[in-house]
Amino acid sequence: MLKRHIFAATAALISSTSTFAQSAGDFVANVGWFHLAPQVSSQPFSISALGTTSTASGSSADVSDADTLGLTATYFFTDHIAVEGVFGIPPRMKLTGTGTLSGIGQLGKAYEWSPTLLAKYYFFNAKSRFRPYVGAGGAYVWYSGVKLSGAMSSGTFLYSSAYQSALEGPTTAKLSSSFAPVINAGLVYNINEHWSLNASVSYMWLSTRATLTTHSSVGTVTSRSKIHVDPLITYLSVGYHF
C-alpha cells in the first residue's frame, strides 16, 4: 500500500513538472536587477606637458558599485544549448580618487554601455523544475555622459611645486571603448510553463584608458591612466517563456 502511494506521488510530481521546459525553439525574456561590483586596480597617471612625460606616483582611482534594470533575451537551439543577449539601462559609474588623489574625492562619472552576447549550456532535463547553467561570451563596452568633478574639470589636480598652477586649466575627459570577455553561471527555477525565476553571477574582464586633456596657459597637458574595472555582476530576474 505504501509503495502504491509513493508511486502515485512520484507520478503526480512527474506530471506536474512535465510542462516546465526550456526546449529547442523556445524563447525566454527576462527582466530584473543588475548589481555591478567593480574589482578595481589602476595605473598611476602619466602626465605629458611642455615636451616631457612624467608619472604621478601614488595617483590611483576606484570605481563605485552600481545598480540598474536589466533585460535578457534567450533562444534555445537545443534543449541544452542557448544564446542570450544581455541589455539594460546603462548604470552611472562614479570614479573616486585614491592614493595621492584621495583628497579630491569624486573625480568624475559616466554612463557605461555594455550589450553582451553569451553562449550558454543548461544542465538537467528540459522539463526539470531547476536548471543550472554556465555560459561564456563577450561584451562591447563604451561610455557616454563623461563628466569631471570641479577639481578635475578645472585642472587643479595638476598643481605641483615645480610648476605651481601653470599646468591648470579647463579639462575634459574621454574613456576608451573595448571588447570584454565574460563568463557566467546561474540557476533557473521554473514556476510553471510560462514563468520562471533566474539568479546568475558573471565576471567581466574590463579595462579602459582614461585620457584627460587640459588647456593650460603653457599649452595642452595630457594625463592618461589605464583602469581595470573587472566587475562582478549579479542578476536577479523574472522570466517569461514564449
* pLDDT of amino acid 162: 79
CA distance to 28, 44, 114, 238, per residue, from 138 (Å):
20, 28, 9, 23
* pLDDT of amino acid 21: 72
Q: Is the dihedral of CA 84, 90, 92, 93 positive or negative?
A: positive
* pLDDT of amino acid 159: 86
Q: pTM score, two decimals?
A: 0.87
* pLDDT of amino acid 3: 46
* pLDDT of amino acid 163: 80
* pLDDT of amino acid 160: 82
Provide the grid cell at 53.
612625460
Tell me the pLDDT of the chain (242 aa) as tens digits. 444 544 444 444 443 444 567 889 999 999 999 999 999 999 999 999 988 998 888 888 999 999 999 999 999 999 999 999 999 999 999 999 999 899 899 999 999 999 999 999 999 999 899 999 999 999 999 999 999 998 899 998 888 887 888 999 999 999 999 999 999 999 999 999 999 999 999 999 999 999 999 999 899 999 999 999 999 999 999 999 99
Beta strands in the chain (DSSP E): 27-38, 41-42, 46-49, 52-55, 59-63, 66-76, 81-88, 92-99, 106-113, 116-122, 130-148, 171-175, 178-190, 195-204, 207-216, 219-228, 231-241
Class of the CATH-defined domain 2-241: mainly beta
**Separation of alpha carbons 45 and 35, rounded Å:** 28
